[in-house]
Chains A and B, each alone.
Chain A
Amino acid sequence: MTGIVIEGLTFKRKERFIFNQLSVTIPKGQFIGLLGPNGTGKSTLLKMMVGLLKAQGHISINGKAIAQLKTKEMAKLISYMPQVTQLETNFTVEQVVQMGRFPHKTRFSSWSQEDTRKVEEAFELTGISHLKERFVPSLSGGERQLVYLAKVIAQDTEYILLDEPTSDLDVYHQVKVTNIIHALVKKGKTVLAAIHDINFSTRICEQSLLLKDGIVIDFGDSDQVLTKENMANTFSVNAHIYVEEQTKAKQMIPLEVKV
């Protein structure tokens, strides 16, 4: 059984249910946008899928329960890029990207040709080879995001979870990150990204997963998920939905708050 299967996930924070019996299956080989209002638990769900947070319920990846997986086995299967990165130490870009190979090594194994190849691939895909010798804390937000993305790519996992990968980026870096993700999906990776910009997400993701109050409102092709009813139910706005001519993607304009 491939894909990520979530069953009966229940999680409370301060007496409030973040998830109440949430069940959903993430299929393989897709780029899926995770959408929902603020505080709906998008980041929390991503963290649970990589085992950073524990909750009641069952999550399995490719048929293996994550509770039974060792951290290292898990890190070979699924990777995660947090929204905020907090490196203050003067590591070079190359050193940080190389850290992505950690799960594939044992204490006594030396740096292999495979490691070099994967790191080179990550640099090629992200196009940041020219930054290799730079110190990470000296980079701009956009460049830093690309470095962390390169690290995740070097980790070489089947599943990749990204928390708001484009939210603080200028348009140049937004397009760049999007292209990189598309290239990864083409290579057979599964990418699940929490994105708060609904229009952007609908344009770039094949599928959308709509969450609210800990339950799945809708999940399917992005064009089919972006409907008046879904916007009203999830975000409490009346929206105008139209097809954008250039990209042929559905887009929405929020008109008013639903009363």
Chain B
Amino acid sequence: MNMKQYKSLSFSLLFILLLVSIVMSTSLGGVTIPFQETILVLLGAIPFVETITDSKYETILLQIRFPRVLVAGLVGAALAVSGVVMQSLFRNPMADPGIIGVSAGGAFGGVLAIFFGVTAIGTYMIPVLGFLCAFLTLMFVYLVSTQNGKTSILTLLLTGVAISSFLSACSSLLISYANLAQVQQILNWLMGDLNGRDWEHVQLLFLPVIICCIVFYFYRQELDILLLGEEEAQNLGMNVQRTRNILLIVASLLTGVSVSLTGAIGFVGLVVPHMLRLLVGPSHKVLIPASILGGAIFLILADLAARLVVKPSEIQIGIITAFFGAPFFIYLILRHKRKELS
């Protein structure tokens, strides 16, 4: 089997897996709906496709579960692709939107919105504030770690760690002043929560995610070349500083929008890109689309697990991703250490 066939096969597999996970995640939950019926209802929702439309499950499927699955898919794709881009920018397999502090910024925005009750204006205030804080965090981290137009990667990562701790301390402080109902809501937020995500969320996510992914795909060659090192990239005629700025801002926007709508879901940007690099290789031409599919699959399945493990209740999706992601992060550190020692 040559390289091209292998890659087509990988993509076909990912695509099939995505469809299967969408159907599974839409069917299973508090009420179990037969797969066949789910497929017919979902197909019936596509314009001009005629199937049965009088299923008694139609409301659950189309108004509750399916939009939630879509949100999970979009956010998964967004976080995974942001992870890919940040890892290439920092030339470090451990870089991730969570690590440079952008996720913490987004989450803190959400806590602020709940605490000060601005959600009374409209629930959309949570994403707006979340996004704003994510962006401000990025700008702050960036300004602190950039000197003479150059960013030291070590300083950037350390600043990210510091700002993350600072923002979670602020969140904790707000929680200790909050009333019981707010505490519950905030905790759900901080752990990453997909409960009650509906078509409005899908609409808010759809365009930013698609546009940002397209921008990244445009920069696939630059991302490859950045992995050779910045001097090499400049030798090859790339405007490194400008490329890096654009990619950093777009990656943070993508993270900010996602985190502001679902809370901080950790480790997706770490686990998914790493596994897909093993499957399709490091070239961004294939890694970016593969991560979009893989991130979507990962979060859709994580969400399904979050709904099934303590059925009929459910746990936050952030718990599931942390259970997979944290050991994985430690595994990466250990491997890195072994490499350094040998």
Residues on A lying within 8 angstroms of B by beta carbon are: 47, 50-52, 70-76, 79-80, 82, 85-92, 95-96, 99-100, 102-103, 105, 107, 155
Question: Quick one: closest A residue to B278, CB to CB?
Answer: A90
Q: Assess the A80–B218 pair: CB atoms within 8 A.
A: no
Q: How far is the CA of A80 from the CA of B234 in the complex (A)?
A: 10
A105-B282 Cα distance, complex, nearest whole Å: 21
CB–CB B283/A95 < 8 A: yes
Contact present for B237 and A99 (CB under 8 Å): no
- The distance from the CB of A12 to the nearest CB of chain B, in whole angstroms, is 16
Of the A-B pairs whose beta carbons lie under 8 Å apart in the complex, a sample of 15, sorted by A's number, is A52-B231, A52-B234, A70-B237, A71-B238, A73-B237, A75-B237, A76-B237, A82-B229, A86-B228, A87-B228, A89-B227, A91-B283, A96-B228, A99-B221, A99-B225
Q: Is B235 an interface residue (CB 8 A)?
A: yes
A105 proximity list for chain B (CB < 8 A): 221
Number of interface residues of B (CB under 8 A): 20
Q: Give Cα A82 to B236, complex, Å.
A: 12
For B229, the chain A residues whose CB sits under 8 A away are 82, 85-87
Cβ-closest chain A residue relative to B283: A95
Tell me the bound Cα distance from A96 to B232 in angstroms.
11
Which B residues touch A100, using CB under 8 A?
A: 236
Q: Is the interface of B mostly helix, strand, loop or mixed?
A: loop
Beyond the given A72-B237, A89-B227, A155-B236, could you list 17 further A-B residue pairs with CB under 8 A, ordered by the A residue number? A51-B234, A52-B235, A71-B238, A72-B238, A75-B235, A79-B235, A82-B232, A85-B229, A88-B91, A90-B282, A91-B281, A95-B224, A99-B228, A99-B236, A102-B225, A103-B236, A103-B237
Give the nearest-CB partner of A74 in chain B: B237
**Chain A contacts for B236, CB-based, 8 A:** 75, 99-100, 102-103, 155
Q: How far is the CA of A254 from the CA of B236 in the complex (A)?
A: 40
* Leading 3 A-B pairs by shortest Cβ distance: A75-B237, A103-B237, A72-B237
Q: CA of A72 to CA of B282 in the docked complex: distance in angstroms?
A: 24
Residue ID in chain A nearest B88 by CB atoms: A89
Q: Which residues of A contact B231 (CB under 8 A)?
A: 47, 52, 82
Given contacts A75-B236, A82-B232, contact A87 B227 (CB under 8 A): yes
B282 lies within 8 A of A91 (CB)? yes
Most buried by B among A89, A96, A99: A89
Question: B125 to chain A: closest CB distance in Å?
Answer: 38
* In the assembled complex, B239 has its CB within 8 A of some CB on chain A: yes
Query: A70–B91 Cα gap in the complex (Å)?
Result: 25
B261 to chain A, nearest CB (A): 31
Q: Give chain B nearest CB distance to A118 CB in angstroms.
A: 14
Question: Which chain A positions have C-beta within 8 A of B282?
Answer: 89-91
A93 to chain B, nearest CB (A): 13
Cβ of B283: which chain A residues have Cβ within 8 Å of it? 91, 95
| Cβ of B338 to closest chain A Cβ, rounded Å | 14
Measured CA separation A82–B237 after assembly (Å): 15
* Contact (Cβ within 8 A) A90 B281: yes
